[in-house]
């Protein structure tokens, strides 16, 4: 899957947002010559200056319209709660035939928030690279982030096939495996595999944070094991994750309801000393891990 094409796939790619994902893509595009030019729009002047200093964009603006005017591909890489406002800026700002894509963790809401703002002749190919770390900001990106990971595209039925193929080719050139599915299906799957785990991590670390001082110090000191993995996830960007939960409400609440039931069943089994029940459950879950690692 490594890119062998040194031939650019796009002339100009414009990023809206240069956090972990945007800046990793930009680094990859620059490293492998996947576009002739990179522009970007960011929110603060400090970030704009930093992006230019890092050399990951040729032009950087604090204004979306200025950044996207020449773009063949616009990559929205901002927290999903910003999509509506970003979409409004794209009206009348893009070339005919330009492609808009995104990297958001929720897909039905991006279609709701961006698609209505796009002019006739502009293509829209929502996407979600399943890659990341707990770090954020333009300094945290690196070109290998996407290597051997999955990217899910959720094109709207009837969208131009050539536009979908171009976005797919870019992600493949970034090292990813690409699959297409419906946005609502995506949101249900990710609700289980990504959103619920983040919610659990935030909760566990939150519970530990609320412990009385002395105990909390010990927890930090001895967190060599399970707790440590949760603290990594719970260090993820709060704005991004607030927006994920507000925009994938239905799927998250559904799986959270099931989770609460299962947790209660475990609580009961522990309370009544039902070792067989616990053993049976822990045996079943081991199977999933085998499927993932092997
Ligand atoms: N936060 C996840 C991790 O560090 C990565 C991730 C986050 C992947 C959000 C996808 C996504 O939508 O492992």
- The set of protein residues with a Cβ atom below 6 angstroms from ligand 1 is 105, 130-134, 194, 236
How would residue 294 be classed by pLDDT, with cut points 50, 70 and 90?
A: low
> Does the pLDDT of residue 293 top 80, yes or no?
no
Nearest residue (by CA) to ligand 1, atom 5, is: 132
Centre of ligand 1 from the C-alpha of residue 214, in Å: 32
pLDDT number for residue 279: 94
DSSP line for the chain: ------S-SEEEEEEE--SHHHHHHHHHHHHHT-EEEEEEE-SSHHHHHHHHHHTS-SEEES-HHHHHTT-SEEEE-S-GGGHHHHHHHHTTTS-TT-EEEE--S-SHHHHHHHGGGPPTT-EEE-EEE----S--SGGG--TTTTTT-EEEE-PPTT--HHHHHHHHHHHHHTT-EEEE--HHHHHHHHIIIIIHHHHHHHHHHHHHHTS-HHHHHHHHHTTTSHHHHHHHHTTS-HHHHHHHHHHSHHHHHHHHHHHHHHHHHHHHHHHTT-HHHHHHHHHHHHHHHHHHH-
How deeply is 280 buried, as exposed, middle or buried, from its count of CB atoms within 10 A (0-12, 13-18, 19+)? exposed
pLDDT tens digits, 48-83: 999 999 999 999 999 999 999 999 999 999 999 999
Report the mean per-residue pLDDT for the chain: 94
285 vs 47: which has the higher pLDDT: 47
Q: Whose CA is nearest to atom 12 of ligand 1?
A: 105
Distance from the CA of 194 to the center of ligand 1, in angstroms? 7
Whole-number Å distance, alpha carbon 96 to ligand 1 midpoint, is: 33
Tokens of 126: 């929502």
Tokens of 173: 């050139």
**pLDDT greater than 80 at residue 4:** no
Closest residue to atom 6 of ligand 1, CA basis: 132
Order of all β-strands in the sheet with 150-153: 127-129, 150-153, 177-180
Distances (CA, A) of 289 to 53, 251, 284: 42, 23, 10
Atom number of ligand 1 nearest to Cα 105: 12
Give me the sign of the Cα torsion angle 143, 96, 155, 68: positive
The CA 224 to ligand 1 mean position distance, Å, reads 22
Say yes or no to pLDDT of 242 above 50. yes
Measuring from atom 10 of ligand 1, which residue has the nearest CA?
Answer: 130
First-to-final CA distance of the chain: 20
Q: Ligand 1: distance of its center to the CA of 119 in Å?
A: 32
pLDDT tier, 6 (very low <50, low <70, confident <90, very high otherwise): low
Average pLDDT over residues 31-44: 98
Q: Which atom of ligand 1 is nearest to the CA of 190?
A: 12
Give the residue-averaged pLDDT of 119-141. 97
pLDDT tens track for 168-198: 999 999 999 999 999 999 999 999 999 999 9
> 294 burial class (0-12, 13-18, 19+ CB within 10 angstroms)?
exposed
Residue 1 has pLDDT above 50, yes or no: no
What pLDDT shows up at residue 98?
98
This prediction's pTM: 0.93
Contact partners, residue 226, CB within 8 Å, separation at least 6: none
What value of ipTM does the predicted structure carry? 0.94
Using one digit for the tens of pLDDT, what is the confidence trace for 149-172?
999 999 999 999 999 999 999 999
How many angstroms separate the alpha carbon of residue 100 from the centre of ligand 1? Answer: 22
């Amino acid at each position: 899957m490594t890119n062998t094409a040194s031939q650019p796939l796009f002339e100009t790619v414009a990023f809206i947002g240069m956090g972990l994902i945007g800046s990793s893509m930009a680094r990859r595009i620059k490293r492998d010559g996947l576009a002739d030019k990179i522009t970007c729009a960011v929110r603060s002047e400090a970030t704009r200056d930093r992006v230019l200093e890092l050399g990951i964009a040729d032009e950087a603006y604090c204004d979306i319209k200025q950044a996207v005017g020449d773009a063949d591909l616009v990559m929205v890489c901002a927290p999903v709660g910003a999509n509506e406002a970003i979409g409004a800026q794209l009206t009348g700002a893009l070339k005919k035939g330009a492609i808009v894509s995104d990297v958001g963790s929720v897909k039905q809401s991006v279609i709701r928030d961006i698609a209505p703002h796009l002019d006739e002749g502009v293509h829209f190919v929502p996407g979600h690279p399943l890659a990341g770390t707990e770090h954020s900001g333009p300094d945290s990106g690196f070109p290998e982030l996407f290597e051997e990971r999955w990217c899910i595209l959720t094109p709207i039925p009837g969208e131009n096939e050539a536009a979908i193929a171009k976005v797919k080719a870019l992600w493949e050139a970034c090292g990813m495996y690409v699959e297409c599915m419906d946005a609502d299906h995506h949101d249900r799957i990710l609700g289980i595999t990504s959103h619920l785990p983040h919610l659990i991590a935030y909760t566990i670390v939150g519970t530990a944070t609320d412990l009385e001082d002395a105990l909390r110090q010990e927890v930090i000191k001895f967190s060599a094991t399970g707790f440590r993995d949760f603290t990594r996830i719970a260090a993820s960007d709060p704005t991004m994750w607030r927006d994920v939960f507000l925009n994938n409400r239905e799927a998250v609440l559904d799986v959270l309801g099931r989770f609460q039931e299962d947790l209660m069943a475990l609580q009961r089994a522990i309370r009544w000393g039902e070792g067989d029940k616990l053993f049976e459950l822990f045996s079943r879950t081991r199977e999933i891990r085998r499927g993932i690692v092997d």
